[in-house]
Structure 1
Amino acid sequence: MKTTLLYGKQGLTVEVPDNAVIVEPKDLPGLPDEEQAVKKALQSPIGSPALRDMVKPADKVAIVISDITRPTPNHKLVPWILDELNHIPPENFVIVNGTGTHRDQTREEFVQMLGEQVVDRIRIVNNHCNDKDSLVNLGPCSFGCDVYLNKEYVEADFRIVTGFIEPHFFAGFSGGPKGIMPGIAGIETIMTFHNARMIGDPLATWGNMDDNPLQHMTREINRMCKPDFMLNVTLNGRKEITQVFAGELFEAHEQGCAFAKAHAMIRCDDRFDVVITSNSGYPLDQNLYQAVKGMSAAHKIVKKGGTIISAAECSDGLPNHGNYAEILQMRKTPQEILDLIGSGSFRMLDQWQVQKQAVIQVWADVYVYSSLSDDVVEKAMFRPTTDIEDTLGKLKAKYGESMTVAVLPQGPLTIPYVEE
């Protein structure tokens, strides 16, 4: 049978065995009137007064957005926020792009993300995690580091965070407080958030918000300089808004996570020999670094010694920020990489993604279908494939005629699990 994976901007249709199990979230329709739904949420929010009533005309307002690697529909959300706050002059706003440790966005990319009218009217800044002059030290947190956040955000009179809520492979769910921490944090704070102990904690996993150390840390830091208002949405596989959650940061985010979990948690009866996954298509599958998320979703239901086939376009390469590629070259096997990162003294940017990747690679073989050259894929310790159907045929010789196959067409938008 044929199935279509979210891949790049166009999708990828593949032929899979007729007995393959398709694992994906419940197909929720997009809201019939997204603008009306968002504006209603801004006017009747969760645990908070109406947005317009909270902001005075003279206030300096910071709006935090997620960067281009996330599909948050900020080209819709930000104009609707500005409409709701039309009593505030445009020069009183600043949009802070939550790059975390990622690269800056260009003007052309901001136009793509926000629309030309917003880019022309509103000042926009990229968060620079390594530039202490653009950060404020809010003091120490209980996790053993000083807390640095973006100065434009901290010094604003009113602070708004936007985002979208989806399953996250070590923070439980995205959105909410993660827009601030690590989105607009400094490198010292980000490195602590992603250290080997935090990432390796068994409670730091898909869909878990209880006793998750990363959620504890991001919430603690948000309380040190809390957003005054949150606007988050959930999306379906077509990137349409399925629900809106606005208001007080923690209460609104909790309701959003419960909604996402109810539709994204898919129980499987057993693990599979082969799991084919996407990385949710563009923009999340822009690079190999991000593609680890889809592999991590597949890891939840693939057998020990099984095979994962990941389809991620990687139009932006590895990417070109951080130390992801460099760390992968430091040892010859995934287990050696895990030993290196877990040594206690290792500390490099992007080690968290390599750590998660290596855990998956120790468990299962991983093939990558992408626009990358075979050499680049192999240097990352993956196996390249240019034909998923051909690879499936070869794997049948390994696992036999009774080979079991699962497909995650939407990749990390799904949380598959097996009760063991």
Structure 2
Amino acid sequence: MSPEPIALSYGRGHLPVRLPPGSVGHVIRKQPLPKLADPAAALAAVLADPIGSRPLAELARDRKSACILVCDITRPVPNRLFLRPMIEVMIASGIPLAEISILVATGLHRPNLGDELAELIGDPWVLEHVRIVNHDARDDAAHVDLGYTPVRRTPVKIDRLFAEADLRIATGLVEPHFMAGWSGGRKVIAPGVAHHETIRTFHSARFMEDPLAVQCNLIGNPLHEEQLEIVRMLGEVYAVNTVLDEDRDLVCITFGEIIASHQSAVDFVSAATQVPLDRRFSTVVTSSAGYPLDKTYYQTIKGMVTPLDILAPGGTLIIASECSEGFGSPEFRDAQARLVALGPDRFLATLTARRLAEIDEWQTEMQLKPMRLGEVALFTTGLAGESRRLTGVTLIDDVDAAIARSVARSGDPHVAVIPEGPYVVPRFAP
């Protein structure tokens, strides 16, 4: 009798995979965290008793305007839970509805419009009554120039709508991030609503190649340190931080001063997210965490980088990602074309001398990490033709068969399977 299939997160559902006979499966998941029984009550509690600040009702008093940052469609943040209650508190405290804005922190991604924006906001009342703007990192006039960070001299230009608001609140999801350590909090500001020069500076090779710029690490991480400097230069900023479980249910929500409230959420989820293992594997099977993170190949690379600590040198990393929206931006496509044409070493050499990274080439640079360690095999139903070639990795049509080939080639029967992809960080801890 064949073993029960393991369900990988894939698109809006799951992809069943079966391990070959004689193999030993190691399914790696986050430690279970208790779901919040009443998310609305939990939100009300943190708004009334925040971390490192006064309650929202007091913060909003005597303010003339407010701007709330929300992540773009690539993050499954439960905006429907907190946007309207926060806005209603602001209105009750005296901020005119017309002076409250929501700014979509797109970074250098495309804008979210139409049905996609409605899905992102999650609340028809908010969509109808509140001004919603997509950040445009390429619009010079839409940014305020705050100068340079003191040590690394990163130019700091931030969206004017946010920088000039009386009350500034970032919202987001706290999850492992393969460069900045953890997402959410300060990251929603930069790169979220930063100018392209700011983004391209701290996505340059001198940051990306730093060994401390990795998932779940904030200590000495140059990206995190620059983000903190940018927050300090901005001044007074607050944040709502959320943590979700594998079912996308809320397990934690914090509110307060942006750095302290973000750190509190990180402290809550860190131990549950990082999973220690006493061995490395010649076959690692993972996902891009399903929708919405696996909408593009661009985002898929996060899932390739996160499990590298447990991939044995020369092993095979098998990743499933729907790529329902295709490849990614034209700039990312150009970077991948250069990678395929030049090869990894020559491609990296073109990056290291530059002060500013080209837009979206940093994701291609991150793909070099798994390519240096072993073979990357991709299963996707969303890419065709030239897009498949430009991935620069091995394309497979059958995950089960790819696992069997890898086990047979390596002689190692142990297979690591990470159903939730980059939302789980396995660590080699002998």
What is the 5 A alignment of 1:128-139?
Answer: 128-139=136-147
1:388 to 377, 383, 399: 399
RMSD: 1.6
Q: Which residue of 2 aligns with 1:197?
A: 206
Q: Tell me, in whole angstroms, the C-alpha distance in 2 between the residues paired with 1:383 and 1:190.
A: 30
Q: Which residue of 2 aligns with 1:369?
A: 379
Name the amino acid aligned to 1:365. Answer: E
**TM-superposed deviation, 1:375:** 4.2
Task: Say whether residues 1:247 and 2:256 are aligned partners.
Answer: yes
Name the amino acid aligned to 1:280. Answer: A
Deviations 1:117-171 (A, max 9, x none): 2111000111110101111111122322321100001111110110010111111
1:92 to 95, 99, 107: 99
Q: Tell me, in whole angstroms, the C-alpha distance in 2 between the residues paired with 1:35 and 1:82.
A: 14
Deviates more, 1:382-391 or 1:79-88: 79-88
Q: Which residue of 2 aligns with 1:223?
A: 232
Task: Say whether residues 1:39 and 2:49 are aligned partners.
Answer: no
2:273 to 243, 247, 264: 264
Deviates more, 1:253-262 or 1:17-26: 17-26
**TM-superposed deviation, 1:55:** 0.7
2:57 to 20, 44, 52: 52
Q: Secondary structure at the match of 2:231?
A: helix
- CA 1:322–1:260: 2 relative to 1, 3 Å: farther
Task: Say whether residues 1:20 and 2:28 are aligned partners.
Answer: no
Name the amino acid aligned to 1:19. Answer: V
Q: Which residue of 2 aligns with 1:62?
A: 67
Ranges of 4+ aligned residues in structure 1 off by more than 3 Å: 343-347
Name the amino acid aligned to 1:379. Answer: L
**TM-superposed deviation, 1:332:** 3.7
Task: Say whether residues 1:336 and 2:346 are aligned partners.
Answer: yes
**TM-superposed deviation, 1:30:** 2.2
Q: Tell me, in whole angstroms, the C-alpha distance in 1 between the residues paired with 2:14 and 2:101.
A: 35
Q: Tell me, in whole angstroms, the C-alpha distance in 2 between the residues paired with 1:316 and 1:284.
A: 11
Task: Say whether residues 1:273 and 2:282 are aligned partners.
Answer: yes
Q: Tell me, in whole angstroms, the C-alpha distance in 2 between the residues paired with 1:309 and 1:84.
A: 47
Task: Say whether residues 1:357 and 2:367 are aligned partners.
Answer: yes
Q: Which residue of 2 aligns with 1:298?
A: 307
Q: Which residue of 2 aligns with 1:327?
A: 335
CA contact (8 A) 1:232 1:245 kept: yes
Q: Tell me, in whole angstroms, the C-alpha distance in 2 between the residues paired with 1:116 and 1:216.
A: 37
Q: Tell me, in whole angstroms, the C-alpha distance in 1 between the residues paired with 2:34 and 2:266.
A: 18
Q: Tell me, in whole angstroms, the C-alpha distance in 2 between the residues paired with 1:163 and 1:148.
A: 21
**TM-superposed deviation, 1:344:** 4.1
Q: Tell me, in whole angstroms, the C-alpha distance in 2 between the residues paired with 1:240 and 1:66.
A: 17
Q: Tell me, in whole angstroms, the C-alpha distance in 1 between the residues paired with 2:140 and 2:71.
A: 21
**TM-superposed deviation, 1:44:** 0.6
Q: Secondary structure at the match of 2:24?
A: coil
Q: Which residue of 2 aligns with 1:113?
A: 120
CA contact (8 A) 2:287 2:420 kept: yes
Q: Tell me, in whole angstroms, the C-alpha distance in 2 between the residues paired with 1:58 and 1:413.
A: 37
Query: How many aligned residue pairs are there?
Result: 418
CA contact (8 A) 1:338 1:359 kept: no
Name the amino acid aligned to 1:356. Answer: M
2:418 to 408, 413, 418: 408
CA contact (8 A) 2:105 2:193 kept: yes
Q: Name structure 1 gaps, 5 residues minimum.
A: none
Q: Which residue of 2 aligns with 1:79?
A: 84
**TM-superposed deviation, 1:297:** 1.3
**TM-superposed deviation, 1:342:** 2.6
Deviations 1:152-203 (A, max 9, x none): 0111111011001011111111111001011000011001111101011001
Q: Tell me, in whole angstroms, the C-alpha distance in 2 between the residues paired with 1:267 and 1:359.
A: 21
CA contact (8 A) 2:172 2:241 kept: yes
Deviations 1:189-246 (A, max 9, x none): 0011111010110011111111111110000001111353211010111111101111
**TM-superposed deviation, 1:276:** 0.6
Q: Name structure 2 gaps, 5 residues minimum.
A: none
TM-score, normalised by the number of residues in structure 1: 0.96
Q: Tell me, in whole angstroms, the C-alpha distance in 2 between the residues paired with 1:57 and 1:322.
A: 45
2:7 to 4, 8, 12: 4
Deviates more, 1:94-103 or 1:77-86: 77-86
CA contact (8 A) 2:283 2:407 kept: no
CA contact (8 A) 1:160 1:227 kept: no
